[in-house]
Amino acid sequence: MALDGLTVSAIVDELSQLVSNNRIEKIYQPEKDEILIIIRSKGSNRKLLLSCHSNYPRAHFTTLSKENPVTPPSFCMLLRKNLTGGRIISVTQPNFERIINLEIETYDELNIKKSKMLIIEMMGKHSNIILVDNETKKIIESIKRISFDMSRFRQVLPGLTYEMPPNNKNNPLSLSNTDDLTDIIDRKTTIQIYKALYSHFTGISPLIAKEICHNASIDFETPINKLDDLEIRDLFFSLSSILTIVSSKKFEHLIFQDVSNKKYIDFSVIPIKHLSHYTITEFDSISELLDNYYSVNDHMQRIKQKSQTLRKNINTKLDRLYNKLINLKRDYDKALKGDHFKILGDLITANLYQIKSGESSTKVTNFYSSTQENIEIKLDKRYSPSKNAQNYYKKYTKSKNALVEVAKQVKVAESEIRYLEQIQNSIEQCTTLQDLEEIYTELVDGGYVKEKSNKKKQHHKKNSSFLSFKSTDNFKILVGKNNKQNEEITFKHANKTDIWLHVKDLPGSHVIVQLDERQLSEVALTEAASLAAFYSKARNSSKVAVDYTTRKNVRKQKGGKPGMVFYDHYSTILVDAFEKDIQKIEKTSSD
């Protein structure tokens, strides 16, 4: 699902048509590995996204908007200084590589024309965005600096001469006949055909390699040494027919989707016949395709990355609390045996007359036992019998006090665990960076994490929004994604007669069904319960218990953590918590 040479060719073709000889208006850097260039094109502004994300590197026009940092990163400032107002002269793809070169003509402070090259290398973890002086070929700066310590083969640092990434593959566009193919691919090897194709040629991905084999009616896992001359010829013609699409620029823009789980399988700029059993969606442009394909995955990946430290922090605290709870319960079980110390003290007191000082133990009749058997009691021979009895009474008193204190600590630990597990669940529900920021602020306020001392003051950000749905029979359903939103929908947006739901005995979202003076329907109740189950720790489980009651029966815990509530007079419904069960519920915009 990564960009291959064919896709890059389609991107270059589109950019060449739309941005050549157009000026760069503005430059932003919304992410540490992402540049957004505003280009004046055909009477309107277009947003060109350049990303060197290790999982989702790409270049295309986008309609999505992102919040930019208050203080632009240094690389962004340098690009603004060098490229703002510049005219894009050409867009090229060298050697069918996953590289796009934007040649940009600018004027320096002395109004002297200069030529710069903005190079976007889209190669997985080695992806980069590099600004080069086109006249001297010297690197001006890069979004990722690569030192000798990081790579012995190629350094990317200001002042060095730019060199393309090392590559021992061949350009498939240079093939002219079957002999050229066999000269490159050793027919004696046992490597599978499709692996040989993408290993020996630039721009050929595993997807395209399999399609070449499919069109040649050859099993892609067949070893090279098993092919006869006719099959080699068919393989060459199959490869040539695909490359003809590239040279003629007759691209299609296709996404292949498994409709059973609504998951994207792959995308391509040529027909992929071996994926024809999937649902195929065609887009008007490569930018529209990539914007659609990557937007959700890239966004959620970034949220996951930015929440990683928070997750680790919460997991560490939870592990400590789990261990603490085990130890507390062990202490509690030990304290429960305290009554035995009182019995020993009583038996020593009742037999003082026959116990001699300096004895290490004594045998007495246990009159507390129904069988009246003898019992041996250990004594500290340093003390008198009376003092030994007092020591056992002290152990009894200590155990009794421990029961109260340990029970109190168990309650506190369990409450902390419930709260942090709820935070854990809230992090999983985050769909925006604002959601994550609200959780971070809550944890700072609660003393669970330290506020970053180097965090710069930022302009006030709008609060994130809770989720809003409409049931099949038009009841509005609200779902909180974190504790702040849970409190907001429960105590600000819900009337006392509205219905409140929460998964039973597990971390999860508060859910509100707004009745608007209507009678709650079975349909709305079931769908709201499915949402409560899905947005909880029970996601993707069957027969999940969900409690529901009127909002007036829900109360904040006095002195409790945000989002923690008590509720009573409730009923319970069992529902499934699978994605397919909530897809039929219409999602609407929140207030």
Cα–Cα distance for residue pair 209/198, rounded to 1 Å:
6
In the listed set 120, 142, 164, which residue is the last one of a domain according to the structure? 142
Domain boundary among 367, 394, 426: 426
Residue 534 lies in a domain: yes
Specify whether 419 is located in the same domain as 475.
no
Over residues 213-238, the mean pLDDT reads: 94
Q: pLDDT tens digit string along 455-507? A: 444 444 556 789 999 999 999 999 999 999 999 999 999 999 999 999 999 99
- Specify whether 106 is located in the same domain as 216: no
Residue 453 to residue 473: CA distance in whole angstroms: 50
- Average pLDDT across the chain, whole number: 91
Does a structural domain hold residue 576? yes
Domain enclosing residue 525, as ranges: 467-588
* Overall domain count for the chain: 4
**CATH code for position 269:** 1.10.8.50
Structure confidence by residue, pLDDT tens digits, 371-398:
788 899 999 989 999 999 999 999 899 8
- Asked whether the predicted pLDDT for residue 298 surpasses 70, the reply is yes
Domain CATH number, residue 403: 1.10.287
492 shares a domain with 374:
no
Does 235 map to a domain?
Answer: yes
- The set of residues, in sequence order, having a beta carbon less than 8 Å from that of 316 and lying 6+ positions away, is none
Does one domain contain both 324 and 293?
A: no
Final residue before a domain boundary, out of 126, 142, 158: 142
Residues 503 and 576 in one domain: yes
CATH number, domain containing residue 124 = 2.30.310.10
* Phi, then psi, of 492 in degrees rounded to 5: -120, -40
Does any domain span residue 457? no
Q: Is residue 307 predicted with pLDDT exceeding 80?
A: yes
DSSP β-ladder status, 565-567 and 374-378: unpaired
Same domain, 91 and 220: no
97 located within any domain:
yes
Q: Are residues 9 and 124 in the same domain?
A: yes
